[in-house]
Structure 1
Amino acid sequence: MSLLEIDDVTVKFGERRSAWIERLGLARESVTAVADASLNIEAGEAVGIVGESGSGKTTLMRAVLGLAPLHSGEIRFRGTPLTQQRSIETRRAIQMVFQDPGTTLNPSRRVGESIEELLKVHRLAGSATERKKRVAELFDRVRLPATAQRAYPRELSGGQKQRVAIARSLALEPSILIADEATSALDVIVQASVLDLFAELRADTGITLIFITHDLTLVRYLCERAVVMRSGRVVETNTVAELFDSPRERYTQELIAAVPQLPATSEVHTSW
């Protein structure tokens, strides 16, 4: 039994329409964002989900979180089917780091206080002293200085805000961490440091990582297995090594061909 099982999942938008909109003739056809997607994820592995914008990769993971209703199919976590009504324990177990951390942080609260409040609500630390100690541990875990706890989101860089978002997700002690284009808005140097952080977290905690991206080079660096999506469908699943060495689908071949390649040293000519 896999940790997470996705069987023939379809997600459609625009299915629910009020009667008065239909009477006005404004009803539109539903849009299929994910079609018959199937995927199994084992405990402790890192899986990259790749595809161009609109391929359905984020929507599929939002369905896993219960943020997008299923039209058909089933999602199971540890063998138990997931419905729209989730237990608190299940919600804690599957967490997502979103693409833009600035939109998920409360601008009127210091970031340390926001995580303390999360621990309090979920009763994951008894006293105020224990909560502060846990926040300090989380900030250290994501390589943020203790002084960052007193900062407001607007006072942090993009990379720092993303680390706060990761710390907040880790506060709930999840089994699965979903990173949705978590490095796409960062510059190359900061991006590399955040990727290293994900790799370190996996090595230290054994957490299962699902990394959503359009950049195959990031998947090659961070993941053991890759899932390629196109137009809402899973078109290929393979180990990262085999995917790059012998991609089966033409679409996968095109994605790999589009990865920028640096010229060999002997091919670089310098003009003085």
Structure 2
Amino acid sequence: MIEEAAKLLARSRFAIAFTGAGISAESGVPTFRGFNGLWKKYRPEELATPEAFRKDPYLVWEFYKWRMDLIRKARPNRAHHALAELERMGILKAVITQNVDDLHREAGTKNLIELHGNIFRMKCTSCDYREDLKESGRLDEFLAEKSLPRCPNCGSLLRPDVVWFGEPLPRKALDEAFKLAERADLVLVIGTSGIVYPAAYIPQIVKETGGKVIEINPDESGITPIADVFLRCSAVEAMEKLMSRVEVLVG
């Protein structure tokens, strides 16, 4: 199966990747529903909503600062780096991710579409202001602040620049993802359940337009029935094996 997947990937002219939480699990990024300790008396889903933010922005920001502090200690794993290398080789044209952990960018991926936002960015609740706390170098300072963050332009509250429960995906990012899927002749689907729509349409679009679907997942998912190749293993194991064969095939 690895050989078949490697040949498809090496021969592709416009390959894309679609990733979910599974690719970051081996970097130690805790899953959203895996949080416990301080937050075991809350349901995280109840803290990740516009309604929760309006009701108690202090509590929501405390939760997200806690998540930021946990996630920033993670590092890209060999699967993230393999995707970045495939991009450098000219095989992979883009990575579309449902993750908010920023690990694809840290690994070196350039053409990255973040469907669910980025946990290290903030955006204003009233105007177009955004701030990337990593790029501004203010992450440590921000995590230590006790007051609610406010927009330097209009004074309104800032919120995490992520998609909360009940919110639509960013239109621009979703449109770009769909256009890439329509062009793609292959999609690598890594570590996603394939049941969260509209993002789960991406592999289906590739399939419907004649492209190939390679799925990497330890378990079957909503994508498995349409996969041309299903690699039942972890993201790191599969991508290491794939890369070793692809590098030989492309010379």
State the TM-score, normalized to the length of structure 1: 0.32
Q: In terms of Rg, which structure is larger?
A: 1
State the TM-score, normalized to the length of structure 2: 0.34
